[in-house]
Amino acid sequence: MCDHLVRDTARIPTDARGLSRGRRLAKLGAHAADTGELVFEDCRVPARNLLGPEHGGFKLIMQGFEGERLVLALVCCAQMRLMWEEARRYGHERRAFGQPLLGFQVWRHRLADQLTTIEAAEALTYRAIDLHVRGARANAEISMAKLFAAEAAREVAHHCAQIFGGSGYMEELLIGRLHRDALAFTIGAGTSEMMREILAREAGLVPAGPAR
């Protein structure tokens, strides 16, 4: 189970029969957040600890996903900005062949492309936030923002890390850790494939009739 389920099960007594902690899971990134297994085996929970209506747990989780996806889109945008700023700083400081790396047009253009991608991701995310705050239906817009920002974060991470050369692959550099952590964005709060399916349904792309 993911670490966020620890919060979701906070109202289950830790001494409840059938509840036990499994092994700690080792992740590629996001090392600051512990992730481990919670095992429920014939676990009985007092009725007073019920969250929401009985048998309504799945619906509550689905409703919570919208907020989680919106937050994750924001995290992606913030991390992309940070990676881009790190790449720009290094591009001015690091010199090769008698000039800063950003003295070479190829690097200037590469970072210009990534800045354009970041701006596009932020525009989608801010639009989704505006709809959500106003109480409008925003399932498609939130899914679109999460999809685009998460996919963009991996691309921006690659290009921003590339300017660092071999040092960008080192744990001691911030860019190395950010690059590694970006791998999880297309999985958390629903995979990119799931976001595309939600968008397809919202846009009326799914044919009527039984699913094939």
Positions marked active-site: 68
Dist CA 137 CA 170 (whole Å): 43
CA 106 to chain centre: 29
Neighbour count for residue 131 (Cβ, 10 Å): 17
- Residue 41 structure tokens: 């085996």
Residue 163's SS3 state is: coil
Strand-pairing partners, residue 19, are: 40
- Residue 133 structure tokens: 């705050």
DSSP letter (8 states) at residue 28: S
Residues making up the chain, counted from first to last: 212
Q: DSSP for 57-118?
A: HHHHHHHHHHHHHHHHHHHHHHHHHHHHHHHHHHHHH-EETTEEGGGSHHHHHHHHHHHHHH
State how far the alpha carbon of 161 is from the alpha carbons of 23, 64, 149, 151, in Å: 33, 33, 18, 16
